[in-house]
Amino acid sequence: MLDHELVKKTEEFLKQKFDAAIYLNEHPKDKAYRIEHSYRVANIGREIAQNEGFDETEMVIACLLHDIAYCEEFGENGWQDHGRHSARIARPFLKELGIPEDRIHDICYGIAIHVDEKADFPGEKTAFALSVGDADNIDRFDAWRIHETLAHDAFLEMRYEEKTEYLRKRLTRLRELREVPFATKTADALWRSRVDFYIDFLQKLAVQMERSCSVIDD
């Protein structure tokens, strides 16, 4: 069962931190994306928790806070370290929520390792902790990210030959990534479902590209 009061407090804390962030307020699109991404990751995490028997509230809270360090200015290695910084910011807030210390540790460890599987404090890579990063990665390969990636890479501005090569490389990489193992059966299934959707979309796009320059022989 989801503790809606604790989740609401976490949402308020996240938005408060982002509202006070100089960089995010100067870049409203980045701010909107980071909040939306945090919610998507939280919903993916909740689905994993429901199917794997994890505490839903703890997982949703962990996922909502996994990128909270974006409220800070990133210095050298800022992106690489943002999981560890997010855990540092989250810990005192989790204590205020009254979450037991052992669960705070597991939540913070999951947040800390979600970027590169490294933390700056001892911990165990439990299935729960690893699922924070799993949820984050699954969102990075969902429908919204297909749109975002094509836009970011200026796909529509490419020449025909460039588009064809771009799709070939992306499809090759996606087929490799499809086999990456995750911490739970639920995350494995969600991952492969989303990567398969991504592959299917790009394959259909590649077929349309092929049919955009000549009449196809029978």
The model's pLDDT over 44-83, given as tens digits with 9 standing for 90+, comes to 999 999 999 999 999 999 999 999 999 988 766 667 899 9
Which residue has tokens 């090569």? 165
Task: Tell me what the pLDDT averaged over the chain comes to.
Answer: 94
Q: Please report the pLDDT score of residue 211 as a whole number.
A: 83
34 pLDDT band (50/70/90 cuts)?
very high
Distance between CA atoms of residues 175 and 168, nearest Å? 11
Domain boundaries, the chain: 4-132, 143-210
The model's pLDDT over 103-113, given as tens digits with 9 standing for 90+, comes to 999 999 999 99
Tell me the percentage of the chain whose pLDDT exceeds 90: 88
Q: Residues 115, 83: contact at Cβ < 8 Å?
A: yes
Q: Please report the pLDDT score of residue 203 as a whole number.
A: 96
The model's pLDDT over 179-209, given as tens digits with 9 standing for 90+, comes to 999 999 999 999 999 999 999 999 999 999 8
